[in-house]
Structure formats: structure tokens, C-alpha cells
Structure 1
Amino acid sequence: MSTKRIGILGGIGPEATGKFYNKLIQKLQKKGLIKSNRDFPQIVINSIPAPELIYEKISDEELQPYIDGLKELDKFGVDFIVMVCNTIHLYYDRLQKEINTPIINLREELRDMLIREGIKSTLIIGTPNTIRQGLYRFEGIKYFEPNEEEMKQLTDSVFNFNRGIDKQKQVQKVRMICERYLKEGAETIILGCTEFAVMLGEEQLPKINTIDILVEATTRKFSPE
């Protein structure tokens, strides 16, 4: 059994981090990698109180808590790190240069998945920063993206959901926006914010859950076939 230590940069938000952790353990069990309690990986979760990287102009001060969190994991001696947040991957190259430990690249993992599945059109929902900077735009795929008003609604829904304000109402708001673009021709929905993955995880919609993408990549690194 692998003795690799996994580092998780979480807290952005905390519920998504918890969801990722639970899904990872379930995935390892399902793959038959856990024969006894000693087979579970050592997992170091650094749940950081960091600002939401919602808008395009992100200051060095706002990014610093993420850098500090990664450096703390780096010092702990983990073998690789997974960042349970979509928007932070806009700064992947910069962050990777700050530490020696390899960080899973969610953008590349998602791109490879879209190619494998032959997906030709998709709706992207995420923070305004993620959408406007094209984190999940790839050549050869048609994209549907929320308009400005819808992006505001999506952002407000995430804020309210994280604060525990009428959670089911927030889910319904997001679902209505998604259904509109599915009717317009989107094959599936990229849940480009881990909070949307939590909100819509049980909803019967064609979707790509980026938490699942991270779980798959982490499992593969932990126990490569």
C-alpha cells in the first residue's frame, strides 16, 4: 500500500473541503485499496480562512493566505497537494513556483476528461473571475456562459449558501439558470466552483462535478495503476 501523504488546501469553502474528503475516502474504499485501517492515507487538511477570489482584480494581499497555506503543507512534507477550490487555479503557475511540492492541476485534469468523454458543448458556472478569465475554455468546445445578471445571482447564491441562509432556495436559483442553458443546447454543466458542486451534487442534471475530478486525480496519484 502506498505511504504517500496527501495535502489538502481547503476552507474555501469548508463544506466543499468536507465533501471532497468524504468522496476521496469512499473512492479509495470502492477501488478496493483499503483492506484495514492502516491502509488509509495520511491526509493533512489545511483549512484556511481566506478571501473569496470572486472578481478579476486580485491583490497580492488577498492571494497571500493561499500562498501561506500551501507553504505550511509544503513544510509538513506531503507528497502532493490538492486545492479544493476552482478559482484559485487561475493562479496555479504562480502558486506552484512558491513551493516544491507538486500541486494537482485541476484545469488540465478537466481538459483531459472533456476530451475523453467527447463533450462538444457545455455551460460553465463559477465565480465571475473564473468565467471571465476563461479558466475552463478549451479549443474545440462550444461554451455557454451566464450573463452579467445571472453571474450576480450565482455569486449571491454562493454567499448565502455558505452563510446557511435558506440553502434550498439558493440551490433552486442556480438550478433555474442551468436549466435555461441546457434547453439552449449545452450538453452538460461544468460546476466551476466547488460550492456549486456541493449545492447541485444531488440534483438530477447533466453535470461535471469538479470535486469528483479532483478525487479521481488524487486517487490516481495515491495509487497509480
Structure 2
Amino acid sequence: MKNFFAILGGMGTLATESFVHVLNERTPNHSDQDYLNYVLINHATVPDRTAFILGKSEESPVAALKEDIRQYSALEPRFFVLTCNTAHHFYDELVNETTIPLLHMPRLAVQAILKKFSNLNRPIRVGVLATEGTIQSKVYENELNAFENIETIIPQQEIQQQVTNLIYRDIKEQNFLNEELYFSILNQMIDEQQCDVVLLGCTELSLMQEATQDETHPIVDAQSELVDETIRLALEFRADS
């Protein structure tokens, strides 16, 4: 197979399934051959990223992710897509394992915010919803704070606990898409914390957004931005071949 990319997924599997579904749904197509060529690596046994970052587990996910990159680099994909937001904490370590480009989901999301809210004549108040591991490791905060016209809003502890419950208790453990809790969290970030936009920095939250098709809240979904960039690059490589 030529002109394909590799998806580093399985963190978690339902979120990866959501990414692939949205990817296929958005790909312009009129026949089987119009869809994109890709290899899906659903590495479900990668140790939990948040547990390791927070010191709750000694099992690092890095070795497993590096192994995936080395193994699939041998197939010479055009680029890698990493579908787990929290895993981007290890991005610099992972890119050193290959000469093949690895897309950076948080940076794509931040660029989308800058573009969509460029007309504001004051700093953009961006609320970050993510796992505790992503929040503690400042995966998104560091990217956002690089811009003077962005004010990063980290959820208060009570809201963060609700986000954690939604991601782990409801989705990962129960396969339950808790729409009531999801909308409550969004409303708190917008109404109470006065956010201009809420950045969905966890693929389980992207799964919630896909399921609800919510258009009533100002949202930038990191996974959605990654999907769009993946399609753009894949079609560009196809056209050049």
C-alpha cells in the first residue's frame, strides 16, 4: 500500500473508533477508492497516561508508544497521527524515534482557536477540558500561553472532578455517554468561568461532542482539528503521487 498514514490509537479504543468514524465521514468520496489509505494501530494495552503522569502508576506508556513508532516506521507511512491528547506529554520523546512526521494535536487546536477568534479585540479566554494528566503536565497550557492574545482558563477543582468522572467513570468504565454531565460542564465553563471558547482536549470528550452534535456552545474540538489536518495532508500526498 502506498500513500498511507498510521494512526496510533487504542487510548482508549472507543475514542479511537470515534476518530476513525469522523475521519471516514468527512473524507470526500463517491466510491470505495476515494477513501484514505491508513493503518490503524489500536494498542489498547498501552499503560494509562494520566495514572503515570500523576504518579499513581509506575507503568510508563512511553516504551509501548516508542515500540509502535519503530515497528510501523518500517512500513514507511507518510505521517503518524496520535489520537490521545495526554500522550502528547511525551511528544518530544516519541518524535526522536522516527524521521516520519508526527502530527501535534494540541498545536492544531490552538491554531484553530487563533483563527476562529481573531476578531476579538481582547485576549481570548480559553477553557481547557482534559484529563488530570493533561492538565497537570500542561500539555495545552504551554501551547496556549505561547500567545499573548490568549488567556488560559483551567477548571476549578470541582469542575475538574466532574470532567474526570465523565471521562473515566462514565465513558471508559461504563461506556456511558453522560450528556447531562457533559452539558453541565460546558455551561459552567462558559457561564461561571466566562470562557469565550471551550477547548476539548480529551478524545473521550470528542466522543461526547460527536454523539451530541452540539452547536449551542463555543467549542474547539482538538480531535476534530486533527481529523481535518489528517484529511488535508493525505489528499495532498495523493494528489502529488
TM-score class, shorter: 0.7 to 0.9
Gaps of 5+ in 2: 119-123
Displacement after TM superposition at 1:69 (Å): 2.0
CA distance in 2, matches of 1:193, 1:110: 12
Deviations 1:143-176 (A, max 9, x none): 22112233233222211212225x24x3322321
Task: Check conservation: 2:109, 2:225, Cα contact below 8 A.
Answer: yes
Corresponding pairs, count: 218
Gaps of 5+ in 1: none
Please state whether the residue corresponding to 1:79 is helix, strand or coil. Answer: coil
CA distance in 2, matches of 1:23, 1:96: 25
Task: Check conservation: 2:5, 2:80, Cα contact below 8 A.
Answer: yes
In the TM superposition, what are the counterparts of 1:1-150 in structure 2 within 5 Å? Answer: 3-29=2-28, 34-48=29-43, 49-55=45-51, 56-57=53-54, 61-118=60-117, 120-137=124-141, 138=144, 139=147, 140-150=149-159
Task: Check conservation: 1:87, 1:130, Cα contact below 8 A.
Answer: yes
What is the match of residue 224 of structure 2? Answer: 212
CA distance in 2, matches of 1:178, 1:159: 17
Residue of structure 2 aligned with 1:163, choices 166, 173, 176: 173
CA distance in 1, matches of 2:65, 2:157: 27
CA distance in 1, matches of 2:230, 2:6: 10
TM-score of the pair, normalised by structure 2: 0.81
CA distance in 2, matches of 1:62, 1:26: 30
Q: Structure 1 vs Structure 2: percent identity of aligned residues?
A: 21
Task: Check conservation: 1:24, 1:219, Cα contact below 8 A.
Answer: yes
What is the match of residue 183 of structure 2? Answer: 175
Task: Check conservation: 1:157, 1:171, Cα contact below 8 A.
Answer: no
CA distance in 1, matches of 2:77, 2:39: 8
Displacement after TM superposition at 1:189 (Å): 1.0
